[in-house]
Chains A and B, each alone.
Chain A
């Protein structure tokens, strides 16, 4: 029998799955298990052995375009990278804004307390983000909390804006060298966010049907035209980062960049999906020292 076009239309309409209750059809990359600690990279890309000691990287590898991906670009982090760059200007700007906002109420600055600094001391604070925030009733990244706490002081610092990221770099710089430490294995909102983030990381999306993991888990070390994909382990420690070709970039804006590059509708910084990915990637950075101010190409 030869099907006619109108008949085909009918068949297609009839075969649409019921939309109620059933989850929409989506595809996922094979769901990899990850150790929520930076050393888990040894069973993913194996490159960790080359960058686990940030102060003593192999100069020769850093200078070799075929090999430098194995250093996970850590040669652009302090202390190995001692040059002065846009990230330092951002830290200065962030420090200024921080002090403007950090009015003393009693013994401690109110803004620092709002960010979660015990006794107003910023040391180690960056290592604990993202965290569950009672006031927001959800898990939030540092930049979202900076926006929230600045608003309380009457200042607009939109998530992803230069000034927001500058404050974030300044706050992070007070923890430089201290290992990232979030608990994503004990039952609770952080673990739930980590698991959601792992799933989103493997979800195919966009015009060319790729997941984050299609590149960042399954194509590590391979060339995509001129660039080489590196391990997702250890990535969040240098954010927000100064991009020599771009500007100051928060982690969520990096997600936007990868979404746009793979022709996927980007989300706003602070969206739940991005925050969940952030928690997931932060889990994979546990144990690696905060490394700001840093730069990347």
Chain B
């Protein structure tokens, strides 16, 4: 086991504190599409032909922990976080590639071009032959953990700060990118 670094222990604490749905002391905002009796809480609509009722079915994941557009949602969003990568990297590039493709993990492919994939996104920078940049691991780690530190209006998700990827997963992604010839 890796020893808990001070920055990442801090992160682990904050994300659990802030992800707690109990942030709503008196139940969810009334305009949330939720059902407190289903496991994932979040609902998605189902339009039924020739019916005056809109049906709602459980969505595949619980989205209530993150801030919404509801005016009754007064929770703060997580602020940008600077983190320090403790070397050695010890990332697994094969797992990293899988994370880059996975819909609810990295899904980097939606914005970035990566080798061997059709239908890549063109929003982010090309990540083909990434190795040639010779970026330090630490920089790449921070870019994935929370890119807002470099660019406050970055559209790249703050994977670490928002609890989408854990520390090891980010290490795996760094190892994967650094392996791209």
B residues 119-174 near A (Cβ < 8 Å) are 119-123, 148, 152-153, 155, 157-158, 162, 164
Of A55-63, A262-270, A279-287, A289-297, the one touching chain B: A262-270
Q: Does B95 contact A (CB under 8 A)?
A: no
Q: Does B86 contact A (CB under 8 A)?
A: no
Given contacts A8-B10, A225-B121, contact A26 B67 (CB under 8 A): yes
A265 with B51: CB separation less than 8 A: no
Q: Count of B residues near A, CB < 8 Å?
A: 56
Q: Does B175 contact A (CB under 8 A)?
A: no
- Residues on the B chain within 8 Å of A136, using CB: none
B33 with A24: CB separation less than 8 A: no
**In the complex the two chains form, what is the Cα distance from A236 to B52 in whole Å?**
22
B52 with A155: CB separation less than 8 A: yes
Q: Does A206 contact B (CB under 8 A)?
A: yes
Q: Tell me which of B13, B69, B76, B111 contacts A273 (CB under 8 A).
A: B69
**In the complex the two chains form, what is the Cα distance from A253 to B54 in whole Å?**
10
- Residues on the B chain within 8 Å of A247, using CB: 47, 49
**In the complex the two chains form, what is the Cα distance from A273 to B72 in whole Å?**
10
Most chain A CB within 10 A, of B17, B79, B153, is at B153
In terms of DSSP, what is the predominant structure of the interface of chain B?
A: loop
Q: Does A235 contact B (CB under 8 A)?
A: no
Query: B22-59 interface mask toward A, CB cutoff 8 Å, 1 = contact, 0 = none?
Result: 00000000011110000000111101111111100001
**In the complex the two chains form, what is the Cα distance from A259 to B67 in whole Å?**
12
Q: Does A9 contact B (CB under 8 A)?
A: yes
Of A104-112, A127-135, A173-181, A216-224, the one touching chain B: A216-224
Q: Does A205 contact B (CB under 8 A)?
A: yes
Q: Tell me which of B9, B32, B47, B155 contacts A219 (CB under 8 A).
A: B155
**In the complex the two chains form, what is the Cα distance from A225 to B113 in whole Å?**
9
- Residues on the B chain within 8 Å of A159, using CB: 54
- Residues on the A chain within 8 Å of B32, using CB: 265, 267-268
Which residue on A lies nearest to B31, using beta carbons?
Answer: A271
A residues 235-249 near B (Cβ < 8 Å) are 246-249
Q: Does A29 contact B (CB under 8 A)?
A: yes
In terms of DSSP, what is the predominant structure of the interface of chain A?
A: loop
- Residues on the B chain within 8 Å of A218, using CB: 155
Q: Does B75 contact A (CB under 8 A)?
A: yes
Which residue on A lies nearest to B152, using beta carbons?
Answer: A27
- Residues on the A chain within 8 Å of B64, using CB: 265
Task: For residue B63, give the distance in angstroms from its CB to the closest CB of chain A.
Answer: 4
B9 with A156: CB separation less than 8 A: no
- Residues on the A chain within 8 Å of B54, using CB: 158-161, 164, 269
A265 with B68: CB separation less than 8 A: yes
17 CB < 8 A contacts A-B: A160-B47, A161-B52, A161-B54, A162-B47, A162-B48, A164-B52, A205-B66, A207-B65, A219-B155, A226-B119, A263-B66, A264-B69, A265-B33, A266-B33, A266-B63, A268-B31, A273-B71
User: A residues touching B (Cβ–Cβ < 8 Å)?
Assistant: 2-3, 5, 8-9, 12, 17, 19, 24-27, 29-30, 93, 150, 155-165, 200, 203-210, 214, 218-219, 222-226, 246-249, 253, 256, 259-260, 263-269, 271-274, 277
User: B residues touching A (Cβ–Cβ < 8 Å)?
Assistant: 4, 6, 9-10, 13-14, 17, 31-34, 42-45, 47-54, 59, 61, 63-71, 74-77, 79, 104, 109-111, 119-123, 148, 152-153, 155, 157-158, 162, 164
Having A162-B50, A253-B47, one finds 11 other A-B pairs with CB under 8 Å, namely A162-B47, A204-B77, A208-B164, A223-B119, A224-B110, A225-B119, A260-B59, A265-B42, A267-B69, A268-B33, A273-B70
